[in-house]
């Protein structure tokens, strides 16, 4: 057998695998951008256009949008679990709670799609169910340590922090067009509200929205209000 015939068959499949891997990375990157900008209400056709690949390529790599959502957000969920575990090891219980709360608010405020995924985790999807199970123990630890230290109001539960994060995320979406960092002010307001008696409060680093900014934000979300 000649050198040419012995080497060429082994090279072609590797090139195809590399091309497929590159296409998949482009698709996932494009989907991450679109989910962040527009939320989950996008189509695989939108993803193909953003990625610069044919629609058929997307459908060959992903059976449907749900499969693509899992691919895009499972890694970010892994990062959330790791962030919660790090915060739970912080030697200062309150600093650990603030660390994770800020991490959660920052990542949700920056991605409409990720916010929707966190809010609507589907336990029928095995990957998300497993991540939910991994997330609960470190979150409980963060809250229990802060409560035991007297830094957190004794009646505050882990589910309260979940609610507060999503309240801040909703406000972040409202003010994003006119003041994208204002959510940080309400992060401080929320955490100050759950502090234990006598504990030092966080400063309100961002200014409140002005009346003009509120009207501008309303106009962005309700086009009919524009004059």
Q: Kindly tell me if the per-residue pLDDT of 6 is higher than 50.
A: no
- What's the average model confidence in pLDDT over 20-43? 84
Query: Count of domains in the chain?
Result: 2
Range of the structural domain that residue 179 is part of = 70-225
Please determine, for residue 165, whether its predicted confidence score (pLDDT) is greater than 80. yes
Mean pLDDT of 155-171: 89
Q: How far apart are the first and last CA of the chain?
A: 79
pLDDT at 118: 67
pLDDT at 85: 96
- In this predicted model, which residue has the larger pLDDT, 141 or 32? 141
**Least-confidence region, from 9-13, 31-35, 112-116, 200-204:** 9-13
Looking at 62, 78, 106, the residue that finishes a domain is 62
Greater confidence (7 vs 50) lies with 50
Q: Please tell me whether residues 79 and 40 are part of one structural domain.
A: no
Looking at 9, 33, 62, which one is the last position of a domain?
A: 62
Contact 108, 152 (CB under 8 A): no
Listed residue (167, 158, 161) closest to 185, CA to CA:
167
The model's pTM: 0.73
Q: What is the DSSP string of 58-116?
A: HHHH-SSHHHHHHHHHHHHHHHHHHHHHHHHT-SSHHHHHHHHHHHHHHHHHT-HHHHH
Whether residues 6 and 49 share a domain: the answer is yes
Say which CATH number the domain at 167 has.
1.10.357
* 168 and 103 together in one domain: yes
Could you tell me what percent of the chain has a pLDDT over 70? 84
Mean pLDDT, the chain, rounded, equals 82
Are 41 and 78 part of one and the same domain? no
pLDDT digits (tens, 9 = 90+) for 79-134: 889 999 999 999 999 999 999 999 999 888 777 777 667 666 565 567 667 777 88
Q: Is the pLDDT of residue 225 over 60?
A: no
Average pLDDT for residues 25-51, to the nearest whole number? 86
Q: What is the pLDDT of residue 41?
A: 83
**Same domain as 95, residue 36:** no
């Amino acid at each position: 057998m000649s050198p040419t015939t012995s080497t060429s068959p082994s090279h072609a499949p590797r090139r195809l695998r590399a091309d497929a891997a590159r296409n998949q990375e482009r698709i996932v990157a494009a989907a991450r951008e679109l989910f962040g900008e527009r939320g989950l209400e996008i189509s695989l056709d939108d993803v193909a256009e953003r990625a610069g690949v044919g629609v058929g390529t997307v459908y060959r790599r992903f059976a449907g949008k749900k499969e693509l959502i899992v691919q895009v957000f499972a890694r970010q969920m892994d990062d959330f679990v790791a962030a919660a575990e790090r915060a739970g090891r912080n030697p200062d219980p309150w600093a650990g709670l603030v660390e994770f709360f800020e991490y959660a608010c920052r990542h949700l405020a920056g991605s409409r799609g990720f916010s929707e995924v966190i809010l609507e985790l589907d336990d029928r999807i095995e990957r998300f169910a497993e991540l939910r199970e991994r997330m609960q123990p470190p979150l409980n630890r963060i809250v229990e340590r802060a409560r035991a230290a007297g830094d957190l109001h004794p009646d505050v539960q882990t589910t309260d922090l979940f609610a507060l994060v999503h309240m801040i995320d909703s406000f972040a979406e409202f003010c994003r067009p006119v003041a994208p960092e204002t959510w940080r002010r309400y992060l401080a307001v929320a955490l100050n509200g759950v502090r234990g008696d006598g504990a030092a409060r966080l400063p309100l680093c961002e200014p409140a929205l002005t009346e003009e900014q509120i009207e501008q934000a309303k106009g962005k979300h309700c086009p009919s209000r524009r004059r």
